[in-house]
Structure 1
Amino acid sequence: MKELRNAFGGFATGVTVLTTSGENGSVHAMTANAFMSGSLEPPLLVVSVVMAEHIFDIAQLSHVELYTPNIEGSLHFFKDMLGLIETERHGNSVYLRAYEDWSHHTLKLTESDKNGMGHCAWRTTSPEALERVVKKIENYGTGIGWYKGDKGHGKAYEFTTPDGHKMEVLWEVEKVKQTSLLGNRPSKRPLQGVPARRLDHVNLLNKDVTKNRKFWEEVLGFKLREQIVVENGKVEVGNWLSVSALVHEVAVMGDQTGHAGRLHHLCYWWGSPQHSSDLADIFRENGIMIEAGPGKHGISQAMFMYVIEPGGNRVEIFGDSGYLIFEPDWEPVIWTEKNLGQGIVWYGGSLPAEYFRYGTPVVPESPKAKSALEGA
């Protein structure tokens, strides 16, 4: 051992080097062990790379802006029925959050002559991660630019998906003042409606499913969790991706109308299937259209209910967590024509044809338009 120490005088371990891909700017980390000779002439440096790993720079879905032509009706729905808390009003917008959301808002309702998603915001893991994500987006070519921020958050970088969905990434957010006696809960449980606990995910309609799935994976660093492919694996119909233990924070589905950049639905999480049943009573009594459910998807194992809020946007009521993914080497679950029926609805009745075609903003569609998922 003494001879070895004399030969290999300097020793360093656990040195982590960040590298970027020239093609898309994606960030990876390599951990190396290095040995420096102290007696050989000339000195000998031996470097052993022992690990390469993916770096998650996106931490969470921060907030979503919804356009609504019926601002009072939408506020009645989200506040009085779903129990969201109003944080602030500014201009034509109202900022809301669920009682277990820690930031200023997770929903921005903006009065507009049309419905749909204004933008979707993602928070990074650090200020440095924000700069890395922006560089990757700029290298890809869909960046718009920086702006100083909005109510509840600091500067943000705007961009679009290949399909045209408007997005932004940010780091600085305003935290709410804690009012709950529980130290691990930011706000008291609201006394109105059946209160949602937190924002869960968005589902986006896309003209080019594969191109957009690759963007979420290769540029933004999401992991593919579940996928629908048809026609012997040649056509992607839907993808569910996440940056956390959740099955998905974003879903990428095909738009059967042929349009691009639309919203399928926004989802909040409750935590118990009983909450879905309670809300179904409230919706029926108050004229809210229940499109489907309560039921259970095979995909994501989610207890679902879909409704159309007064502004025309689809909202999913997520009754439980479905399942969580802790395996670092998770392989995507692939659904095909053989088992797609079980994937779409595990139990609870079939989904209506409109579920596969309706999105916001509302657009004209061909009467011949049919989703590959219909009748599954």
Structure 2
Amino acid sequence: MPQIPPAEFTERCRDIAHVGSVELFTPDADATTAFFTGLMGMEEVGRDGRSVYVHAWDDYERFTVKITERDRSGIGRTYLRAAGPDALRRRVAELPGGRWVTGEFGLGDVYLCQDPDGHEFGLYWDTEWYRPGEGQRPALKNQAARFPGRGANIRRLDHVNYLAADMPGARSFLTERIRARPTEQIMLDGGEVSGFWTTVSDKTYDLVYTGDRTGTAGRLHHVAFATDTREDILRAADVFLEAGVHIETGPHKHAIQQTFFLYVYEPGGNRIELCNAGARMMLAPDWQVVTWTEAERAKGQAWGLKTIESFHRHGTPPVD
């Protein structure tokens, strides 16, 4: 007799293919754009009103980051690409109360919805693929654009970490509505989950929530971008040092998810992570969530670096 999965086992749902792009708010769009194009190695691909669109060299879609000028920093929309038209319809049916919008740069119809904290998500299927112009055509036809060879040489968007006042609501939104799979979590001694990591793909994580100690809803902890190698991150640290960019912590290795990391603040104040997760993939369909205790987290990161205090305080938009 074949072994039957336990009753709590749920087969993975792949209606969301991946995190497509993200919108960042900044009080200084020119400086933030210069950070992404000059130091992160991205290319400006369009402008629309108060927004600038930039593209990472191996992103197949039209843009990677939408930089929108606002009076305060923070996160705008996170765009999630569905696995197909039917997958999009299934997710929309599980996310009542949203609305459809048109006219987003490089995207077709987008269904906008919010998590319980007010973070906005845009689900879509139709997308315009990036087409390199003169000077951006790659030597290898299986990558989107030519390797930039400047700054941090960011390859793609990796994940988004939100701050949340309503952690149970955030978890329910991701696991029951978006159908992301939890992979790791932090559980406090009192039983509360203070952070959880989820995946919608074969990566170990795509969307993360950590509790906002200020109790403020709708804030951002960080947006993370992937490099090819750890050495790229080490080089980026020198690039940021010479450019006067604030390096918050790293380079080092996380215990949770084992990601090699570097955290900096872009000129608008948003925390940016450069990361390299190595060869870790989430291939097991019956993966059991890994739980980290308070005592385990107090040990710091993988190689002993203590978690810097600003990591628990700083978020955008800033609060007193």
TM-score (norm 1): 0.79
1:231 to 1:348, Cα distance in 2 relative to 1, 3 A:
closer
RMSD over equivalenced CA pairs, Å: 1.5
The CA distance in 1 between the partners of 2:297 and 2:151, in whole Å, is: 35
> Which residue, 180, 183, 193 being the options, matches 1:236?
193
1:150 pairs with 2:104? yes
Aligned equivalent of 1:372: none
CA deviation string 1:110-138 (max 9, x = no partner): 11111101111100000111111111001
Q: Among 184, 191, 194, which residue is 2:152 paired with?
A: 194
Matched AA of 2:64: T
Deviation at 1:55, TM superposition (A): 2.6
Identity across matched positions, percent? 37
Aligned residues: 308
CA contact (8 A) 2:260 2:276 kept: yes
Does residue 128 in structure 1 map to residue 82 in structure 2? no
The structure with the largest alpha-carbon Rg is 1
| Structure possessing the higher relative contact order (Cα contacts under 8 Å, 6 or more residues apart) | 2
One-letter amino acid of the counterpart of residue 65, structure 1: E
Out of 157, 164, 167, which is 1:206 matched to?
164
Give, in whole Å, the separation in 2 of the partners of 1:61 and 1:85: 19
CA deviation map 1:266-322 (0-9, x unaligned):
010002111111111111111100000001101010001100000100000103436
User: Equivalences for 1:1-376 in 2 at 5 Å?
Assistant: 53-138=11-96, 143-178=97-132, 179-232=137-190, 234-321=191-278, 323-342=280-299, 344-347=300-303, 349-364=305-320
Deviates more, 1:191-200 or 1:259-268: 191-200
- Structure that is richer in strand per residue: 1
Structure 2 unpaired stretches of 5+: 1-8
Partners of 1:100 and 1:243 in 2: how far apart? 20
TM-score (norm 2): 0.93
Tell me the CA shift for residue 357 of structure 1: 1.5
Shift in Å, 1:206 = 0.4
In 2: Cα distance, 1:297 partner to 1:175 partner? 33
Q: CA–CA distance in 1 between the matches of 2:115 and 2:164?
A: 10
Question: Any idea what the Cα deviations from partners look like across 1:28-79, whole Å, max 9, x if unmatched?
Answer: xxxxxxxxxxxxxxxxxxxxxxx98343211110110001111111111111
Unaligned stretches of 5+ in structure 1? 1-50, 365-376
Matched residue of 2:90: which SS?
A: helix
In structure 1, the residue corresponding to 2:294 is in which secondary structure? Answer: coil
Is the contact made by 2:259 and 2:278 (CA closer than 8 Å) also made in structure 1?
yes
Q: CA shift at 1:160, angstroms?
A: 0.4
Query: Which deviates the most, 331-340 or 317-326?
Result: 317-326
Instruction: Check conservation: 2:257, 2:277, Cα contact below 8 A.
Output: no
